[in-house]
Amino acid sequence: MMTAGCGNDSGGQPPVDCAVAAPEALRVCVEAVGSDRLTCYLDTNAPCSADDAAFAAALKALKDGVEASCSDDELQSLPVGALVARLQTSCMSQTQSIASRTFGGPHGSVWPAATADQKACLRTSHETVSALVDVALLGANDCLAADECDANALDTEAKTAAATAVTEIEGACEALEDIIAVPASTYVARAMQQVDCMVATAHADTAPLSLSCGPSNVDMDPPRGEYQQIIVDGEKWGTLCGDGTEYAFQIRLAPEGEPLDRVIIALEGGGVCFFEDDCTARMMSNPGLFNAQDTQVAETGIGIMSNDPVESPFATWTKVYLPYCNQDVFAGAGVVEDFGLPRYGAVNARAAMQMVRDLLWRLIDEQGGDGFRPDELVTLFGGFSAGGYGTLYNYHWLLDDLQWPRTAAFPDAGGALDSGGILSVRTLGFTLIPSWGALPNLPPYCFTGDCAVGPVLYEKSAPRLKTVPEQQFLILSNQKDLTQQGDALFMEEDHWINTLRRDYCGTKDLNGIHYYYSSESKESIHVISLQPEFYEGEVAGIALRDWLEGAITEPDQVIDRAEEGTFVDDIPGAEAFPCQVAP
């Protein structure tokens, strides 16, 4: 196949059409950068540096090839500079996703401690899936450049190649999931999903291919400035609620005239059930907890979800509200427990977010200008109570798989603290992560049972945060919260208060970890970002509303906020913070 961009100035070859040159330039870049990422691990035992010379050379080659063959508005109605930036971003982010999945996150935490056999497994996995991506991209590019593209034949070839890749990886690895959490089949499937995104990025028209990513994958058309419920096609996306009904979510696109690429994604709360007895009782007493279609997002149109600019700096942002219907803290990976309860929480949430991504991609491209860029979206991703737990367990996916790096996480009243008891978040993590099929959905750098514990996850996540300024955990709670205390299986309030304060002091100085703890000690307060008196009230001199806004507008200036209050006097056994906080 002709190399992108070489036709205008070499050997008298005819110019390469932009529709051919741009996709080929991306494929070549992905091959080069992906290979270099592996070389860095092999040679230095660590990820490549951000200023890696091979990265720069690959990106320059892409730029030169596209500029030699493309003119403004020729492909996807983009200026050439914007097209180049889009393709360069895809090249870097897609190869980073594969490397992160392989080596233990963008910081490569698994590789240095791996045994020789494990390193051989990881090397084979990366080489095999990189070759698969290259073949799949080449096949899609050739098919779309031909006079007739046989989509069925291409799909068959891709499935055969993917199955071969799984076999090769399984032959080299005793158990890939024991090293990086995902089995070979999932590892390969996720790479093939990336191929669809790359094809959608590089081609203006992807018909007749049926892609799982990009503008051609959109099947909803919500209005601007008002909420609309979207019922998710379970057959297409694999989604399901606890009562067997289809999953649904709510979306409110930014009003006309406001930018679409400022997004709040909020996960609904609603407790949790663990075993047959408590789940059956909850289904009988509150069946609405197992259904997503009866959720009224208007009930949360206050605080951070307010649509009034006077009340919230995020009022005109695109808002996505993800109902909770599986009682699995958005961790379930698509299994049905022996007693009949579907645990699909992570599947549901991630499917909805992929649908939103594709919609925003289409709408932003249609607006003209520089088009959709995942690295330019600014996102607040959070949740309330059980949704706070879900924020902890899914944040890495937005960064690494959805590839929205400018995302800050705000778990509210769902800190997943550990009581240290026989029945605790930690001990349940060792049981429920496997029984809910959650292992492949956890970060490849934190996937044992104790990674269900918030502070453990913060410690493991800190080395990979702040690759861009917005990328951080913003942990919210009132210190007296009997609901959160009970959900985390603490029997005594003083034990809860003291654990919360000790964990705060032990993690607050970690990279990208920040807290906002209000100090109402007379009354139990559950979820502070949805209550105007706490959203607008101050802790240590700043309102939560303004603190969260600052985390977006001045993300490097965030300062932890917590107060002693009168807990020591009001709650027998409560102790002062073991570190300095506001009086």
Does the structure show a pLDDT above 80 at 2? no
Closest CA to 341 of 258, 436, 419, 248: 436
Which residue is listed with tokens 């094809």?
Answer: 199
pLDDT (mean) for 76-88: 96
Count CA within 13 A, CB hemisphere, residue 255.
6
Contact 322, 356 (CB under 8 A): no
Query: Token pair for residue 200?
Result: 């959608």
Contact 445, 464 (CB under 8 A): yes
Between CA 398 and CA 374 the distance in angstroms is 10
Assign residue 45 a region: left if phi > 0, alpha if psi is -120 to 50, beta otherwise?
left
Q: What is the DSSP letter of 305?
A: G
pLDDT at 13 (0 to 100) = 55
Helix residue ranges per DSSP H, 110-261: 116-145, 151-172, 176-180, 184-202, 234-237
SS (H, E, C) 392-435: HHHHHHHHHCCCCCCEEEEEECCCCCCCCCCCCHHHHHHHHHHH
Contact 154, 140 (CB under 8 A): yes
Contact 539, 562 (CB under 8 A): yes
pLDDT at 299 (0 to 100) = 53
Phi then psi for residue 437, to 5 deg, are 65, 25
Q: What is the pLDDT of residues 126-153, one digit of tens each?
A: 999 999 999 999 999 999 999 999 999 9
Contacts of 497 (CB under 8 A, 6+ apart): 479, 480, 567, 571, 574, 575
pLDDT at 96 (0 to 100) = 98
Q: Please give the C-alpha separations between residue 301 and each of 149, 305, 376, 502, 509, in angstroms, as whole numbers.
A: 48, 5, 26, 34, 33
Rg of the Cα atoms in the chain? 24
Query: Token pair for residue 563?
Result: 């107060």
Q: Is the dihedral of CA 451, 455, 460, 466 positive or negative?
A: positive
Contact 200, 207 (CB under 8 A): no
Contacts of 268 (CB under 8 A, 6+ apart): 295, 300, 321, 322, 323, 324, 383, 384, 386, 387
pLDDT at 471 (0 to 100) = 98
Q: Which amino acid is at 93?
A: S
pLDDT at 301 (0 to 100) = 78
Does the structure show a pLDDT above 80 at 28? yes
Local confidence band at 1 (pLDDT 50, 70, 90 cut-offs): very low
In order, the DSSP letters of 481-530 are -HHHHHHTT-S-HHHHHHHHHHHHHHHTTSTTEEEEEE---SS----STT
pLDDT (mean) for 239-254: 97
pLDDT (mean) for 110-114: 97
pLDDT at 583 (0 to 100) = 75
pLDDT at 162 (0 to 100) = 98
Q: What is the pLDDT of residues 256-285, one digit of tens each?
A: 999 999 999 999 999 999 999 999 999 999
The three-class DSSP label of residue 306 is coil
Q: What is the pLDDT of residues 149-182, one digit of tens each?
A: 999 999 999 999 999 999 999 999 999 999 999 9
Q: What is the pLDDT of residues 381-433, one digit of tens each?
A: 999 999 999 999 999 999 999 999 999 999 999 999 999 999 999 999 999 99
Q: What is the pLDDT of residues 504-531, one digit of tens each?
A: 999 999 999 999 999 999 999 999 999 9
pLDDT (mean) for 434-456: 96
Closest CA to 84 of 5, 16, 139: 5
pLDDT at 10 (0 to 100) = 40
CA dihedral 182, 451, 280, 300 (to 10 degrees): -100
Q: What is the mean pLDDT of the chain?
A: 95
